[in-house]
Amino acid sequence: MKVAVDAMGGDHAPGEVVQGALDAARELGVEVILVGPPEVVEAELRRRRPRPPGVEVAPAAEVISPHDPPVQAVRQKRDSSLVVGMRLVREGRADAFLSAGPTGALLAAGIFVLGRLEGVDRPAYGTLLPTRSGRPVLVLDVGANVDNRPEHLVQFGIMGSVYAEAVLGRPRPSVALLANGTEAEKGNAVTRAAYQGLSQAPEVNFRGYIEARDLPEGQVDVVVCDGFVGNVVLKLYEGLGLTLFGMVRDALTSTFRARLGALLARPALVSLRRRLDWEEVGGAPLLGVAAPVIKCHGASRARAVASGLRVVHEFVSRGAVERMRARLSAAPRN
C-alpha cells in the first residue's frame, strides 16, 4: 500500500507531518510518498535518519494556505502539494491521500482531480466523535457542504454506513438522522424528506431521528446531518469539551484542598482526557470521491498524522471505496 502525504499541509508542517508519516511507515509497513518541495522535505528526512524503506518524495513547489480561496487555489496552484498529492492517487501511483491542509481546498481537489463516485451529488466529511460508551460515533457531513438537499443526506447515510462497517468494523451499523426531536413528524423540511429516503435506502439500518442530547452517549454508529449543522456539532463538541475540562481544571486548582485532591485523582483524569482526545481518534474521511482521502486536523502534530495514517490503512485495506461504489449504484436515484 502506497499513501501520498501532503508534507506541507497544516500548522506544524513540514516537520511534524514528516515525523508522523515516518512513524506510521515503520509501524504499519505502508509506503509513503511525501509531497512537497524536495529540498524542504529531504532536509526534514535527513534530520530524522535512518529513512525507513518505501519512503519517497514527490516534488511540488507550491503550498495552498488556509487563506487562499479554495476553488481558485486548486485551479491555479497546480503544482501545490495538495493538488499534486491528489493527482498521484488519480494516476494510480498512490492508493490514498492524507492532508492536514485546508478543508475547502482538499474537498475541491477531491472533486476536480479524483472526481465523485457515481450516485454521489456532494462528497461529505465524516468525523469520529468520542462518546461515553467508548465507541466513537461517525458524524457526517461536518463541513464539506452547507444547504444540503434531502438526497444528499440519504447518500451520506449510505456512505457512512459502508464506512462504519468496512473501516470501523461495526456489523450492520445503525444510522440516525440528527433532528430536534425523535418523533417522525419532527425535523425541518430537508430532514423530513431525508427521513423518507433513508427509510427506503437498501442495506441502511436506519433508526430514525436522534436528538443532539443523545449523541455523546454513543448508542448509534452513524449520525447524518447537513454540513452546516454538522459543523456546529463538531465545533461545539470540541469547544465545550475544552471549556468543561478547563473549568474542571480551574475548580481543581481553586483551593489547597482541591489541589491536593486533584493530585491524587490525576492519573484517572489524564486517562479520561486521553479518551476524549481528537489526536487519538485520527483523521476525518472525505467520503464520496473516487479514492480514500483523509483530512487531518490543521493543528495536527506527528501523533495525529500517524493516527490519520492508521485510518488510511484501514480505509484502503478494507476496500471501503469499492464497497461504497457498489452500494451507491444499487441505491435508487432521485
Residue whose CB is less far from its own copies, 46 or 257: 257
Q: Using the rule CB under 8 A, which residue among 59, 78, 79, 263 binds its own copies?
A: 263
52 binds its own copies (CB under 8 A): no
CB distance 238 to 278 below 8 Å: yes
Give the interface segment with its own copies, choosing from 52-60, 185-193, 317-325, 326-334 (CB under 8 A): 185-193
DSSP line for 255-314: SHHHHHHHHHHHHHHHHHHHHT-HHHH-PEEEESBSS-EEEPPTT--HHHHHHHHHHHHH
Q: Using the rule CB under 8 A, which residue among 15, 216, 298, 319 binds its own copies?
A: 216
228 binds its own copies (CB under 8 A): yes
Instruction: Tell me, rounded to whole angstroms, the distance of Cα 64 from its chain centroid.
Output: 19
**What are φ and ψ of residue 293, in 5° steps?**
-130, 130
Instruction: Tell me, rounded to whole angstroms, the distance of Cα 125 from its chain centroid.
Output: 6
Helices within 110-173 (DSSP H only): 150-166
Give the interface segment with its own copies, choosing from 43-51, 53-61, 188-196, 314-322 (CB under 8 A): 188-196
11 binds its own copies (CB under 8 A): no
243 binds its own copies (CB under 8 A): yes
Give the interface segment with its own copies, choosing from 38-46, 57-65, 255-263, 311-319 (CB under 8 A): 255-263
Cα(208)–Cα(329) distance, integer angstroms: 23
Residue whose CB is less far from its own copies, 59 or 69: 69
The nearest distance, CB 312 to its own copies, in angstroms, is 25
CB distance 291 to 315 below 8 Å: no
Residue type, 67: H
196 binds its own copies (CB under 8 A): no
Binding site for its own copies (CB under 8 A): 131-132, 143, 146-147, 178-180, 187-189, 191, 211-217, 227-229, 231-248, 250-252, 254-255, 257-258, 260-269, 271-272, 275-276
